[in-house]
Amino acid sequence: MEQEKNKKFFGLIKRIIICAILLATSIFVIQTAKYYVRNDIENQTNLIINNNNVTKRLKSKLIVENDNIYISINDLKNFFDNFIYEDSNQVITSSEKKVASIGFNEKVININGANIKTKATAIKKDEVTYLPINELLNVYDVQMEYLKNTDIVTLDSLDKEQTKATACKNVSVKLYARNLSRTVDKLKQGAMVVVISEKDGWTKVRTENGKIGYIKNNKLTNYIKIRDDMQAQKQISGKINLFWDYYSEYVSAPDRTGEYIQGVNVVSPTMFYIDSNGKFVEKSKDAAKKYVEWAHSNNYKVWALVSNDKAGIKTTSSILQSYEERTRIIEEILRVSTEYGLDGINIDFENMYQDDKDNFSQFIIELAPRMREIGLVTSVDVTAPDGSPTWSLCFDRIVLGKVADYLMFMAYDQFGSSSNKAGTTAGYDWVELGINKFLKTHEVDSNKLILGLPLYTRLWTETANGEVSSKTVNMKDIDSTLSEANSSKVWNDDLKQFYIEYASGSTTKKMWIEDITSIKAKVSLVNKYNLGGVASWEKDREDEAVWSVIEEELKK
């Protein structure tokens, strides 16, 4: 009886152990199986960009045809150029330093103004436009390889770091960083791999077959850095301290021989404009070239200003709407930049149709890469993010902030000459509000935003019947202008300005004063928001002491 009980007991124990083993085995298999699941994307050409397989993200499959690799413009927009677009019978695409146009008929691509013969054109299939990526390698600065045996296309950016290593023995490349994982490729001793990353004793690699997986660190040797990350070098280290130097088309550029302006590192003379016929005009060429020589002798960079104020809104519109016309102006800008030895350009286009907002953005999209290719800066003057259609709503600050090197926030004329109400030219609170709109609403990189400062104010006159008029008063002339004032200045802490109001005959005079104190307060916003610097409008309106104040404030 006792023997029978022991037999049943040990049988029960045996069954429990077997069940436990089966359960543990099942759990192990379930937990391990996920590392063996096939995740290959089959029946289409795979695309790997900078060691990431992006095939699942493609909107249209790649086309491999006649030794050409075609990618849809929607996918190029997603991976390489947010601003690529189809214009008439061609596609325009750009990158950091290149602008290219490629058509559907002729086997030619135009890159930065030069025509280059190609083996393929743009094509359309099922109402989708495709470009031959093998003809755009120089545009996007990438290296391409098509691996026929695995039907994989690899694209590597030539400005990104790349390291390779050698397999020191025959080894399996695993899908995950663990021994119990599916093998995605097998390497023979001496095979080279691209090193992607390292963690916990494993190295993520890309094999010569284009497969991405993991190898134990000790299975690799002979690490070689093929190239380093290419970091763009700024023309100016530290904060920008610029002034605009205005002169009309009827006079010569200022002769500033012997002058030195403390703290300034960039000057922007108004050298060029577009006239009412759309012609690109140079002002006083010889004097302008001497001005550049003077600036460079003081180690100032020269970002010459190009204006559309003489063109008018209709001529500006006709230029902006045409790729050929935009290109014509860009070629002129490049020509004078080289001829005058400029360091950059300042685009000051104002009074534009709201409907031309995208066209103006495209102009800058096409200009900035051409300038960068020859080491020059593109800066764009932009108004506060509010106001009328032709003054404010004509700028796409999000796009301009991405493609231009700097945006100049013209933070003045809060109340301008056409205002029917007296007010400050640039109150601190209004300026700060504008900065926040640029940075938060329009997503402009703070280091790209340059704060414009007014070196002037307005004297307002109000009549008994409520009529309002004003005249511009330079900062240096404020004290003499107020000599007849019979009241004292009052500080406004919201505006960070002094205000004065006094009777003059039957009228009332009002002024919100721009002086050293108000300028210093506004410059403090550069440090508060880590902006790129300041730009002052305009030279020769100032109290000379302002330059040392700006310099000191920017150093904080």
Among candidate residues 120, 135, 154, the one where a domain is terminated? 154
User: Do 223 and 354 belong together in one domain?
Assistant: no
Among candidate residues 154, 176, 204, the one where a domain is terminated? 154
Q: Report yes or no on 195 lying in a domain.
A: yes
User: Do 138 and 174 belong together in one domain?
Assistant: no
Tokens 């069940």 belong to which residue? 19
Bridge partners, residue 142, by sequence:
157
Contacts of 74 (CB under 8 A, 6+ apart): 59, 60, 128
User: Do 133 and 257 belong together in one domain?
Assistant: no
**Structure confidence at residue 38 (pLDDT):** 64
pLDDT means over runs of 10, the chain (556 residues) = 61 66 51 62 93 97 96 98 95 98 98 98 97 98 97 97 97 95 96 97 97 97 94 92 97 97 98 98 98 98 98 98 98 98 98 98 98 98 94 97 98 95 98 98 98 98 95 98 95 98 96 98 98 98 98 96
What is the reported pTM? 0.92
User: Do 310 and 205 belong together in one domain?
Assistant: no
CATH number for position 88? 3.30.457.10
Among candidate residues 98, 119, 154, the one where a domain is terminated? 154
CA–CA separation, 415 vs 436, rounded Å?
Answer: 20
User: Do 204 and 290 belong together in one domain?
Assistant: no
User: Do 414 and 437 belong together in one domain?
Assistant: yes
Q: Report yes or no on 1 lying in a domain.
A: no
Tokens 């506060």 belong to which residue? 384
Q: Supply the range of the domain harboring residue 201.
A: 161-227
Q: Give the Å distances, CA to CA, from 177 to 125, 171, 260, 298, 350.
A: 41, 14, 63, 59, 57
User: Do 193 and 281 belong together in one domain?
Assistant: no
**Structure confidence at residue 204 (pLDDT):** 98
What angle, rounded to 10 degrees, do the helices at 428-436 and 516-528 form?
Answer: 20
User: Do 273 and 413 belong together in one domain?
Assistant: yes
Q: Report yes or no on 546 lying in a domain.
A: yes
Q: Report yes or no on 121 lying in a domain.
A: yes
CATH number for position 401? 3.20.20.80
**Structure confidence at residue 5 (pLDDT):** 59
User: Do 118 and 173 belong together in one domain?
Assistant: no
**Structure confidence at residue 34 (pLDDT):** 62
Q: Report yes or no on 88 lying in a domain.
A: yes
Q: Report yes or no on 490 lying in a domain.
A: no
In SS3 terms, 107-158 reads as CEEEECCEEEECCCCCEEECCEEEEEHHHCHHHHCEEEEEECCCCEEEEEEC
**Structure confidence at residue 10 (pLDDT):** 63
Q: Give the pairing type, strands 507-513 and 497-504.
A: antiparallel
Q: Do 223 and 164 meet the contact criterion of CB atoms below 8 Å apart?
A: yes
Q: Report yes or no on 478 lying in a domain.
A: no
User: Do 285 and 217 belong together in one domain?
Assistant: no
**Structure confidence at residue 27 (pLDDT):** 46
Give pLDDT tens digits for 201-245: 999 999 999 999 999 999 999 999 999 998 888 999 999 999 999
Cis peptide upstream of residue 198 (ω within 30 degrees of 0) = no
**Structure confidence at residue 88 (pLDDT):** 86
Q: Give the pairing type, strands 490-492 and 344-348.
A: unpaired
CATH number for position 176? 2.30.30.40
User: Do 379 and 416 belong together in one domain?
Assistant: yes
Q: Give the total number of structural domains in the chain.
A: 3
**Structure confidence at residue 23 (pLDDT):** 56
Q: Report yes or no on 357 lying in a domain.
A: yes
User: Do 311 and 445 belong together in one domain?
Assistant: yes
CA–CA separation, 521 vs 516, rounded Å?
Answer: 9
Tokens 């103004």 belong to which residue? 113
Concatenate the DSSP letters of all residues of 220-272 into one string: EEEEEEEE---PPPPSSSS-EEEEEE---TTSPPP--TT---TT--EEEE--E
Structure tokens at 338: 């080289």
